Structure 1
Amino acid sequence: MSRTSTKILAALAALPLIAGLAACASPAAGDAGAAADDVVKIGVVGKGDPQWAAFEEAAAAEDIQIEIVDFADYAQPNPALTEGELDLSQFQHIVYLADYNVSAGEDLAPIGSTAIYPLGLYSLKYDSVKDIPAGETVAVPNDASNQARALLVLQSAGLIELKSGGTIFSDLADIDEANSKVKVTALEASLTPTSLPDVAAAIINNDFVEDTGLTFEDAIAKDDPSDPNALPYVNIFAARADDTDDATYLKLVEIFQTDPAVQEALVDASGGTGVPIVTPVEDLEDSLAKVEADTKSAKG
């Protein structure tokens, strides 16, 4: 892990957030759960990202065969996992998983952390946030978890003001329009990049940035992954609740977290913006339980 990652881990430790390897043991792949000759299907958004080829190779070296199943948008992998079409998913952070579990009445669970990624604001028309004229429109993702985070980025950039001050549950109704510089429209996450010719700027999830011909360095604003409130936005491997102790799945998490080629590809895929993180599973579970409780309360 890089020196930058080490500093960020220290900053997040006060939660407590990050403390060494995931608390589960790392048994050999054949000790329990899926047999070594079974194929483990993992749902992702962005199969072309280089960490997946590196991960397949590293898993094969441990006699575990995996199949990376690609999905076009974030709404699809969790239902597929719930229905047993997948064995694991790796595309979401804790806030997204909590919203899914509460909305769908499900109990998918985290079994390991992967990384945290800053969320960026991009524009084809303006080189700086300060150049965006008053009254222009900015696009954000329409899914609840990413929308709230996107609005916090816009508030930090001075483009909007949120009535609540901003929370992980903020939505468009929370925008104080009278005291905001821009208007905000919500689109499905995969469509925010294609909206760029028609809006002043757009919040674009990392999975879709390079599809637009942009680079991560093109962001004109972004949030800070070292923020102590970052734990709910740590990306995770998720499994069905009955499979959280599956030895093969836990071995795959260990491989992903420790294999140098996988980690290098993970950082490269994010243009150097992704920060690999190893968080104890119990901390992930505690964070999920808290966010789920808050989500239920927020939804009434």
Structure 2
Amino acid sequence: MSSTTPPALPEKPRRSRLPLIVGLAVAVVAAVVVALLVRGGDDTATTAAGGGEVRTVRIGVTDQAEPYWNTYVDLARERLGVEVELVNFSDYSLPNPALSQGEVDLNQFQHVQYLANYNVTAGDDLQPIGATAVYPLPLYSTTVEEPGQFAEGATIAIPNDAINEARALLVLQAAGLVTLAGGGTAFSTTQDVESARVEVVPLDASQTAGALQSGSADGAVVNNNYATSAGLSPDDIVFQDDPASPSAAPYVNLFVSRAEDTGDQTYLDLAKLIHDPAVQAEFVESYPQAVVRDTEAPVLQEDLATVEEDARAAQG
């Protein structure tokens, strides 16, 4: 703006522009102050009614309907001053890309083995910051009570994602239903089935329970969250692996962040909060067969690095 003011005409004296300029300046300052209060220096921060800052953290999950999440969200708000927003995914292939791309801040749905395979195949570097539990991977049937009762050629549905497929095949081998080349590995596929008493049908993990319930499969290997949401009865489990064994370490489920966020104290606190007694009381009701694990982040990250080496070797 020029500092020279045009001469005023005598018959029409100009009014001072100072009040208008001051008013505009006050309005601009007020707007900036409001914006800063809302942002709090962080795109995920808001201001609580009482004046305290509340940070919003988006967590990707696959079992949002389970009651323990309600308790978890309430405790995060009350104890940590964090507003947790759960983002539910129905497909295991989605939460990791969503985390990598910043659509969520954390996710909690996968075990070490799954994360290792994702990082290696996607060229990513997502990292575990906390553990939750190891879940058995059960084989369900509504027509037989033990694996040996399946008829020759019976259809068994298994998850088709790389890691759960391998684990499901190992479950079927332990149940005496298939034989895998070399005894099988954590990276086996249906191509490694050397002999089988049953027909193995890989499906999306979200569809294996439905295949059993519709009668299109005589048995199904079903991940815990999908078994729970489908209402499968534990009484229909005819075989499962042992979640308490040392060999189950690669199947410890995780809270996961981007690599640059592993030191974020809020995220670490949220990972620990899952072990609060109030949350655990409901967690074990949702997943009574789970074996809870509370492993420290550095140990989990070392385990991940080891399994990633195995994954690279498997890709050969």
* TM-score, scaled relative to structure 2: 0.81
Please state how far the C-alpha of 1:61 moved relative to its aligned partner: 1.3
Contact 1:209 1:216 in 2 (8 A): no
Paired residue secondary structure (1:114): strand
AA partner of residue 71 (structure 2): A
Q: Which residue pairs with 2:207 in the alignment?
A: 191
Find the aligned partners of 1:181 and 1:286 in 2 and give their Cα distance. 39
Aligned pairs, number:
266
Contact 1:112 1:236 in 2 (8 A): yes
Whether 2:159 is the aligned partner of 1:141: answer yes
Contact 1:33 1:248 in 2 (8 A): no
Contact 1:88 1:239 in 2 (8 A): yes
Paired residue secondary structure (1:195): helix
Paired residue secondary structure (2:225): helix
Larger RCO of the pair (alpha carbons < 8 Å, separation 6+): 1
AA partner of residue 217 (structure 1): D
Whether 2:84 is the aligned partner of 1:78: answer no
Out of 227, 230, 245, the residue aligned to residue 209 of structure 1 is: 227
Which consecutive segments of 4 or more residues in structure 1 shift more than 6 A?
none
Q: Which residue pairs with 1:44 in the alignment?
A: 61
Q: Which residue pairs with 1:226 in the alignment?
A: 244
- What CA RMSD, in Å, does the superposition of the two structures yield over aligned residues? 1.7
Paired residue secondary structure (2:210): coil
- Structure number with the higher strand fraction is 2
Out of 172, 175, 178, the residue aligned to residue 157 of structure 1 is: 175
Q: Which runs of 5+ in 2 are unaligned?
A: 1-39, 46-52
Paired residue secondary structure (1:285): helix
Matches within 5 A, 1:200-279: 200-257=218-275, 259-270=276-287, 272-279=288-295
* TM-score, scaled relative to structure 1: 0.85
Q: Which runs of 5+ in 1 are unaligned?
A: 1-29
Q: Which residue pairs with 2:76 in the alignment?
A: 59
Contact 1:139 1:186 in 2 (8 A): yes
Call closer, same or farther: CA 1:160–1:210 in 2, change over 3 Å.
same
Q: Which residue pairs with 1:110 in the alignment?
A: 128
Paired residue secondary structure (1:73): coil
Find the aligned partners of 2:106 and 2:187 in 1 and give their Cα distance. 26
Paired residue secondary structure (2:110): strand
- CA offsets 1:167-208 (integer angstroms, 9 cap, x no match): 11111011112xx21121111000111111112201000111
Please state how far the C-alpha of 1:211 moved relative to its aligned partner: 3.1
Q: Which residue pairs with 2:10 in the alignment?
A: none
Percent identity for Structure 1 against Structure 2: 46
